[in-house]
A and B are shown apart, each in its own frame.
Chain A
Amino acid sequence: MQPVKYQRATTVAEAVRLLQEGGEYARPLAGGTDVIVQARERRREIDYFVDIKHIPELMHVRHDANGVTIGAAVPCYLIYGDAEIVKTWPALADATHVIGGTAIQGRASLGGNLCNSSPAADSIPAMIALGAVAHIVGPKGERDVPVAEFCTSPGRNVLGVGEFVTAIRFAKPEPGSGAAWQRFIPRNEMDIAVVNAGVYLRLDRNTVRDARVAIGAVAPTPLVVPEAAQALVGKALSDQTIAAAGDAAKAAARPIDDMRGSVKQRRHLSKVLTERMIRRAAERARGQG
C-alpha cells in the first residue's frame, strides 16, 4: 500500500469540495470493503480517501409515505435489519444479507457496491429490479440516475470528478407486486456470484402487468433484460411464459469464460436463476413469500 491522504467530510458540500480538490486519484471511502483491499493490493491508484461515513444523511434510512431513501453509506446490516425494508422490499434484504459475511455486512454499503461497479455486484440487480434511483451530488449540482443506467463498464460508472452518490431511493412497490433476488455461488457463503438475478413482477390475478429482470456477472455491467420482461408482460404466468423469460435472459447473457465460471454454465444459470426468481417474486406478489 502506498501512503494515502485521509479526510473526514461531515457535510455533503465539504465532501464535494474535497473530492474536487483531490481530483482523479481521490475516492470516497464508505465501508472500505472494496476500496481498501484494492489500494492495499495496488489494484487501483488512489492517493486520497474522503471518508463519507460522517455525513449524517449518508448514514440514515428515511421512510416516507412514498418509499424509502437509504443513505449511500448505510451498512448492509442496518438494511436487512430494518423491519419495514424486509416487509416492503424483501429483494433488497435478499441481497444485502449475503454480501460477504457478518463482519463485512457491518461496513459494506449499497453506495459502495454500486460505485465499485463490479459486473458481479450483488445488490445491483436487486436494485434494478426494484427500480431504484441513485441521487448524485457534485460540483455542478444534483442529479438522479436510475441504477439501471449507472454502470458503464467494469469498475466504471457515470460519476464525474467531484461527484458522489448521497442516497438511493426506492419507491413503494405497487399493490400486487413482488420482487426477489438470488445468486449462484459454488459454496454457500464468501464467494463471488457466478450469476445473480433480480426480478420484479406486478400481477393482476395471474396476469403479469409489469416486470423487470436484471442479471449480473454475465456482461461488462449488470444487465437489464427487457426481452425477459416482454416475455412476461400481458401474459398469464405459466411454465411456458416463465421458460420463455428464462430463455430471453439466457440469450441476453454475454458472459466470459474464467475460473469463476464458463460461458455455457453462466448462460444456463442466467435462465435457471431468472426462472427461480420469477417464481419467488410471484409468490411474494401473491403475499405468500
Chain B
Amino acid sequence: MVSTEQPKQYRVIGSRPIRHDGVDKVTGRAEYGADVRHEGMLFGAVLRSPHAHARIKRIDASKAEALPGVKAVVTSADFPGAEEGDLDLGEGRANPRWLLDNLLASDKALYHGHAVAAVAATDQHTAEDALALIQVDYEVLPAVIDVREAMLDTAPILHPELRTAIRARGVEKPADKPTNLASHLRLEKGDLDKGFAEADVIIEREYETAMFHQGYIEPQNATAFWNRDGEVTVWTSTQGAFSVREQVATICQVPVTRVKVVPMEIGGGFGGKIGIYLEPVAALLSRKSGRPVKLWMTREAVFQATGPTSATYSRVKIGAKRDGTITAAHAYLAYEAGAYPGSPVGAGAQCAFAPYNIPNQVVDGLDVVVNGPKTAAYRAPGAPAAEYAVEAVLNELAEQLEMDPMELRLKNASKEGTTNAAGQPWPRIGAVEVMEAVKNHPHYTSELTGEDVGRGVAMGFWFNGGMESSSSATVNADGKVSLILGSTDIGGTRASLAMQLAETLGITSDDVKPHVVDTDSVGFTAVTGGSRTTFAGGWAAYELGVQIRDRMRERAARIWETAVDKVEYRDDGTIAGPDGKQLSFQELAGKLSATGGMIAVSATVRMNTPGPAYAGHIVDVKVDRDTGKVEILRYTAVQDVGTAIHPSYVEGQIQGGVAQGIGMALTEEYFYDDEGRLRNASFLDYRMPVANDLPMIETVLVEVPNPGHPYGVRGVGEVPIVPPQPAIQQAVYDAIGVRFYKTPMSPRVILEELLPE
C-alpha cells in the first residue's frame, strides 16, 4: 500500500477479518428473494410487449381470468394513477408518472419487453399459461433506437407532450413542438474561444459506446402482501429499502408508514436495483387476490426491461500548448435515456474533465428518449462514456505532442483548490498521487515486447456520494455489540461498518455483530449506491462508538463513584479510572444490567463531504490479427481509496469494476434488430467476460485520507469501471496501429477493420 499522509495507527481498520455474513453465504443459508415463502403465496408472471413501439388499443384479460388457478390479473388501469413530480432515488431521480408507466404500460408500449399486464396464480406454470390468454391489440408504430436518429426531425416521437428542458445559458430554446430531446444542460467555465485560440494543437474526435447491462447475477424479484388492514409488506432484492418504500408508497398511494420493506440478501445491483419494476405490481396483485404474491423476472426480462446504461454519442475537442498545457476543452455528450427521460448525462458532464485543471471548458449534455428500456444507474453512472472520450483524446494529444501520456496528465492535474466544471474548488484529492503512482509503477516502466502487443493508460474520476445513513447499536452483557443497519450489503459493508465501530470502541471486528433490517426497524437510510455506504454508514458507526464510549465512561464513573471526567476510554477498549482502576470493555458490559441497565444508542448522519476518487489504469494487450480477438496480458489498477477499511474488499471492488470495464471495452453490447427487438437477452449472447478471459488484476491502493471523514474513507466501488475503455482503446492502437472510436472493440469489429474490403 502506498500511503501519502502521515499514516494513522489503527487496530482493526486495514486488517482483513472474515466477513460476518460469509458463512451464511458460502453454506447457502443466506436468504435471498427466491427463498421467500408464505402461507397461501401466489406466483406471478408479467406479459411483455413484443414490439418496440406500439399503441395499446385494448387489453382483454377475461380468458386469463377464467383459467382455473388464476387469482388476479392487473394492467395499468388498476393503478390509482400518479402525479408529475420528482422522486429522489438516491442515485438518480424519477418522475412518478413515468415510473408508473414503466411498471405497466398505459397507452403505449415504448420498448420491446415493456410490461403490459401481470397475472397471479396458484403456481408458476399456470401464471405463465395465463399470459398467453391475455389478448392485447397493438397498433405497431415505427421505433427509434439510436440517440442521434432520435434527435432528427423525422424521428418517431415517444412522448407527444415532451418538450426540451434547457438547463444552460446560451442554448437556444427550441421550437414548441414534440421532441425526443428531453433536456440539454451546459457547464461552462472561462472563455472557450480564447482558450482554443491559445492552443498549438487541437484534437477533436467522435465516440460511440454501446448499451451495457449491469449483469447482476440475481434477477429482480419481489414478494408483496397487501393486508386487509391496509398494511403493505414487500420482500425484495434492492440497494435501498427506504427508496423502495418511498416508490411503492407513491405509486400505490399509501402513506409511507403503512409500507414495510424487508430487504433480502442481494445478488448484485451495480445501480440497477435502485429503481423498481415489480414491487407495486406484486402489491396490486396481492390486493386483488388477498394473498401474498411473488414476482420473479426471467433473465430475458432482466435484459429487456431493467438496467441498462445509456448508449452514447460524444464529440470531444481539446486544445493544448506545445508544452502540454491544456488551454481549452469542449465535450458534447448525447446519452440515450431509454423510454423515459433521465439518463445520467448530468453526472457524465461533470465528470468529463474532472481529473484536469482546464481554465476554459464547456460541456453540453443531452438527454434523449429512445425505444429502449429506461436506463438505470450503473457503477459511476454516466462517467465511463464521457471520460472514455476525454481520455482517448488525451492519449492522441500526448502522441502528437510527443509527450509521455502520464506526463501530460500530471501537467494538467486537478489539485486541492483548483476549480471543477461547476466552478467549485476541489477538496483534498489524490489525482496527482495516483498519476505519480502509475508513472512510477514497474508495469508502466517495464518494456513490452512481442508481436502485436500494446500498452495503454487512462485515468478515471468519480464524485462519490454522501447522503443519509442511520444505525443503532446495543452493548450486550457478553461484551459484544449488535449493530443495526439500514444499508443493504452488496459489497461487504456489514464488515466495513462493523470494523469502523470496532475501531472506535477498541474491540475486534468479531465483537460486533451487524444486522441489516427492514424499514420499520432502523432510521432512514439512503441507498447502497454512489460508493457512499462505507463513507456515510461508517460515520454513523463512528458516532455510535463515540456515544457508547461516553455512556461506558459514565457507567464506570458511577461504579467507581468518581467524576466522569476522571474516567478515560482508551483506544484498546480499556476503561480506566483513578487509582489504577480499570475495566475491560467486556468486564464493564457484564456489569451494565446490575448498575443501571443496558446501553443502546442510535445515530443518523447526513454527510456532504464525500472524498472524490481518482483511478489510473495500465493495460497490456495482444491482438490476434487473424481473429480480431484481444487478450488482456496484464492489468494494473491504481486508485486513491482514502483509507482501505478492509483491503480485500477494496481490492475486490476494484477488480470487479475493471472486469466490467473490460467487458464494455471488448465484448458487451445490446443488439437490436431493425424493428427494435432485443436479440441477445441472455448471458450467452450478452457477453460479459468470464473468469478465464481475465488475468489476475493487480491493484495498487493509494491512501490519501478524506479529511471529511473520521477514518479518511473515500468511496471506492465505482471509479474503477471508468478507465478500462480508453486504456484498452489505446493499448489496441499501440498493438496494431488502428484506433477504434466505438466500443465494444469486439473481435468482429477489429477483424473487419483489418480485413481488406
Contacts and interface: CB of A to CB of B under 8 A. Distances in A.
Nearest to A1: B125
Residue of B627, B687, B747 with most partner-chain A CB within 10 A: B627
Given A190-B684, A272-B627, A261 B748 contact: yes
B692 A189 contact: yes
A190 B690 contact: yes
Interface stretch (A127-135, A140-148, A180-188, A235-243): A180-188
Interface residues of B, number: 24
Tell me whether chain B's interface is mostly helix, strand or loop, or mixed: loop
Interface in B223-254: none
Given A3-B125, A269-B627, A272-B627, A191 B684 contact: yes
Interface residues of A, number: 22
B423 to A, nearest CB: 44
Contact of B693 (A188, A260, A264, A265): A188
A268 B689 contact: no
Given A191-B684, A259-B679, A264-B752, A186 B671 contact: no
B639 interface: no
Interface in B618-675: 626-629, 666-667, 671
Nearest to B684: A192
A187 B689 contact: yes
B594 interface: no
B751 interface: yes
Nearest to A262: B748
Contact of B748 (A188, A191, A192, A265): A265
A186 B671 CA distance: 15
A2 interface: yes
Contacts, number: 57
Interface string B535-559: 0000000000000000000000000
Contact of B747 (A2, A189, A192, A265): A265
A2 B125 CA distance: 7
B482 interface: no
Nearest to A192: B684
Nearest to A271: B626
Contacts of A192: 684-685
A1 B629 CA distance: 38
Interface string A247-269: 00000000000111110110011
Contacts of A3: 125
A265 B680 contact: no
B629 A186 contact: yes
Residue of A186, A190, A269, A272 with most partner-chain B CB within 10 A: A186
Contact of B687 (A186, A258, A269, A272): A186
Contacts of B627: 184, 269, 272
A259 B680 contact: yes
A264 B746 contact: no
A139 B690 CA distance: 45
Contacts of B629: 184, 186
B667 A259 contact: no
Contacts of A262: 748, 752
A162 to B, nearest CB: 29
B755 interface: yes
Nearest to B752: A264
B679 A265 contact: no
B125 A191 contact: no
Interface string B742-753: 000011100110
Contacts of A194: 747-748
Contact of B667 (A186, A264, A269): A186
Contacts of B626: 268, 272
Contacts of A268: 626, 751, 755
Interface string B286-297: 000000000000
Contact of A259 (B666, B683, B685, B692): B685
Given A184-B627, A188-B690, A259 B671 contact: yes
Nearest to B672: A259
A192 B746 CA distance: 15
Contacts of B690: 187-190
A269 B755 CA distance: 11
B667 A187 contact: yes
A186 B747 contact: yes
Interface in A190-206: 190-192, 194
Nearest to A259: B671
A264 B754 CA distance: 12
Contacts of B679: 258-259
A189 B693 CA distance: 8
28 contacts: A3-B125, A184-B627, A184-B629, A184-B747, A186-B667, A186-B687, A186-B746, A186-B748, A187-B667, A188-B693, A189-B690, A189-B693, A190-B683, A191-B687, A192-B684, A192-B685, A258-B679, A259-B671, A259-B680, A260-B685, A264-B751, A265-B628, A265-B747, A265-B748, A265-B752, A269-B627, A272-B626, A272-B627
Kindly list the 3 A-B residue pairs having the minimum CB-CB distance in the complex, ordered from nearest.
Answer: A259-B671, A272-B626, A188-B692
Interface of B: 125, 626-629, 666-667, 671, 679-680, 683-685, 687, 689-690, 692-693, 746-748, 751-752, 755
Given A187-B667, A268-B626, 7 more contacts: A2-B125, A187-B689, A191-B687, A192-B685, A260-B685, A262-B748, A272-B627
